[in-house]
Amino acid sequence: MYAYAEFDEDFVRARVRQFRDQVERRIDGRLTEDEFKPLRLMNGLYLQLHAYMLRVAIPYGTLNSRQMRQLAMVADRWDRGYGHFTTRQNIQFNWPRLRDVPDMLDALADVGMHAIQTSGNCVRNVTADPFAGAAADEIADPRPYAELLRQWSTDHPEFQFLPRKFKIAITGAEEDRAVTRAHDIGLRLLRQGGETGFEVSIGGGLGRTPMLGRVIRAFLPEADLLPYVEAILGVYNRLGRRDNKYKARIKIAVHEMGLETLRELVEARFVKTRAEFGGADRAMLAGIAGHFAPPASCHGPETIPPGSPAFRAWCDTNLTRHRRADHAIVTVSLKTPGQVPGDVTAAQMRVLADLAERYGHDDLRISHRQNVVLPHVRKADLPAVFEALAGAGLAAANAGLVSDIIACPGLDYCALATARSIPVAQRIALRFEALKLEHEVGPLRLNISGCINACGHHHVADIGILGLERAGVETYQMTLGGDPTVTAAIGERTGPGFSSDEIVGAVERIVLAYLDLRRDAEETFAEVFRRVGLGPFQQVLYEGGEATDAA
């Protein structure tokens, strides 16, 4: 993985010194709270419901064991012994004190990490396929481009005060595991006639106005990536709306100005931006790519060793095909029924670090589904990995199943939330654990957001839940048929919402209806939904009837 050059190290240290100074100036009044706010946000520091929250970037979801151990140290020393992984592959610490934050940032800089641009109206942490460099269906490794974009966007002088936040996601595989169509810019690596390039989409985003990204360039030669992205950002910075923060994302510009108009403006600007790149970016990319060479060869048998039923169940759900027949990609579920989705204790972080070091080529990933991934594990080592995970409460065999729930922090932490997400996720997971049904059901995405801003990605789940507040009472709306993959779709609302007491039963009815409706175990929820529509599901939700397939 990428290791900081001297330049990165100097930059991050300077940034910590600068922030330390900004904190002092805030305290002595030279900076007003209004002026300090964007500066602290640019350094990942939010003010939440009960305390500050520090959001630390995990660029494209990649970290090594040393970094994971340092996160554990930060959690123990300055927080409450745990952290929370987010849908944008970051980690959040929920209880830092303002005066400690510069020290926390220095500790992160010790291992080449930072919290720069994890917030604010700037280009945010670039997210990527958590299986990058390991997946069997990969066309090209997206990580070098993601790192190049990280460097380009970091402290970019033109784009620190955009109309609104700006999110970029990149994938290099056939399957889209980075939800690229839900990002301001989505990049998909392609090969065309021996040339590598990107399909570039813009204007995706969830929130109160969910929209899927639209393709602005069907094939962009990879060498033109930075000038093209710079052209998009330049057009957006000049013309994106600033009169209403809810209409300020680029998706609204695409919607109001039209894709064709924006494409013309971007292409015209691109002619100029391209002329400004003198070749250093190419040399830097080549240097960066060297950091992402495949792990040193480490052969083993191509079959998984026998083991207990629990081990076999875990292998069935938590492994993904690696590009090498003697390796597997391991998803470590942070969704043991009853736990807070995405939370991990400092002790668990250390176990994960040890496993990565011993069995996983020192490589760890955070997935947008809020799990941890060990991307390169020899099949021969799987039993040992499983045993160690089980000892740390990390061996839930539910990756990709209905209890592998994405949930935002919700009203338990977040100042924007209108309802709780975590307890709902916990109750649903426990219910399905008791039903012993989810392995029969198979892959199913259930995502929960605690407000309309949709951090829990509820719009792109098979079953999406949105928590709202109606007359002082939490109520949960449901959407069905959302899809985060290459066949991306925004879920459709089923109808009136459910109370906190009703929502678990409602989810159960939907899952049972899916079992009734599907032709066989191969037909996914998304496929059934496309075939039968919302009707049969509404029937079981609101009419107490059984799902009948009218189609």
406-407 and 372-378 beta bridge pairing: unpaired
Q: Give the Cα separation of 386 and 270 in Å (integer).
A: 50
Helix (H, G, I), strand (E, B) or coil at 170: strand
Q: Which of residues 257-276 bind other proteins (CB under 8 A)?
A: 272, 276
- Residue 280 as a binder of other proteins (CB under 8 A): the answer is yes
Of residues 75 and 115, the one with the C-beta less far from other proteins? 115
Using CB under 8 A, pick the residue from 237, 403, 447, 449 that binds other proteins: 237
Q: Is residue 228 a contact point for other proteins (CB under 8 A)?
A: no
C-beta closer to other proteins: residue 226 or 504: 226
Q: 160 or 336, CB closer to other proteins?
A: 160
How distant, in Å, are the alpha carbons of 417, 431, 477, 516 from that of 504? 20, 8, 12, 19
In the window 76-105, what residues touch other proteins (CB under 8 A)?
none
Contact 73, 59 (CB under 8 A): no
Question: Helix or strand or coil: residue 55?
Answer: strand
* 480 contacts: CB under 8 Å, gap ≥ 6: 462, 463, 464, 491, 492, 494, 510, 529, 534, 537
Does an H or E element contain 201, and which? Answer: strand 195-202
6 binds other proteins (CB under 8 A): no
From residue 422, alpha-carbon distances to 262, 419, 460 in Å are 40, 10, 19
> Does 2 interact with other proteins (rule: CB under 8 A)?
no
Of residues 13 through 32, those in contact with other proteins by CB under 8 A are: 14, 18, 21-22, 25, 29-31
- Cβ proximity of 85 and 366 under 8 Å: yes
Neighbours of 470 (CB within 10 A): 12
- Smallest distance from the beta carbon of 83 to other proteins, in angstroms? 27
Of 4, 13, 20, 38, the one binding other proteins (CB under 8 A) is 38
Question: Minimum Å distance from CB 43 to other proteins?
Answer: 11
Report if residue 394 touches other proteins, rule: CB under 8 A. no
Distance in angstroms (rounded) separating the CA atoms of residues 342 and 40: 24
- The answer to whether residue 11 forms part of the interface with other proteins (CB under 8 A) is yes
Candidates 234, 342, 360, 491; binder of other proteins (CB under 8 A) is 234
Q: End-to-end CA distance of the chain, in Å?
A: 50
Looking at 78, 277, 305, 453, which residue binds other proteins (CB under 8 A)?
A: 277
Are the beta carbons of 450 and 464 closer than 8 angstroms? no
479 neighbors 494 (Cβ within 8 angstroms): yes
Which of 34-42, 169-177, 401-409, 452-460 is the region at the interface with other proteins (rule: CB under 8 A)?
34-42
**If binding means CB under 8 A, how many residues of this protein chain bind other proteins?**
42
Residue selected from 13, 255, 274, 282 as contacting other proteins according to rule CB under 8 A: 282
Which 124-153 positions form the footprint of other proteins (CB under 8 A)? 148, 151-152
Q: Which residues bind other proteins (CB under 8 A)?
A: 7, 10-11, 14, 18, 21-22, 25, 29-31, 35, 38-39, 121, 148, 151-152, 154-162, 226, 234, 237-238, 242, 272, 276-284
